[in-house]
Amino acid sequence: MSATLYDKLGGQPTIEKIVDDLHKRILADNTLKPFFANTDMAKQRAHQIAFFSLIFEGPKQYTGRPMDKTHTGMSLQEPHFDAIANHLTEAMAVGGASAEDTKAALDRVSSLKGAILNK
């Protein structure tokens, strides 16, 4: 049996580290920061960790809404998605993910792009 992406990345501790770094980068990005102005970042952190765990084949602990519902009315555009993807790539590198595992993770996130952008 082959290891899941979640396992290859290092499981929960690494996902937590990646999400923490990702949020730091997003909140430092003036094009993205306004989207999180009224967001409870502790709650967002928990949702994001559970979501990444789910899409990276880890424990199924995500109980949030589907991506299209979550992002409805936010008017996210392709440059916003691309900026977050770039920040995620950088956070994964800091978290010690290999280039191969980072690509696999970004492929999974990118597969949700239409739902996230409500297109």
Task: Please report, in range form, the residues annotated as the binding site for heme.
Answer: 47, 71
Task: Please report, in range form, the residues annotated as the binding site.
Answer: 47, 71
CB-facing half-sphere around the CA of 89: CA atoms within 13 A: 13
Please, what's the b/e burial string for 89-119 (b: 16 or more CB within 10 A of its CB; e: otherwise)? bebbeebebeeebbeebeeebeebeeebbee
Please list, in sequence order, all residues whose beta carbon lies within 8 angstroms of the beta carbon of residue 101, skipping any fewer than 6 positions away: 5, 8, 9, 92
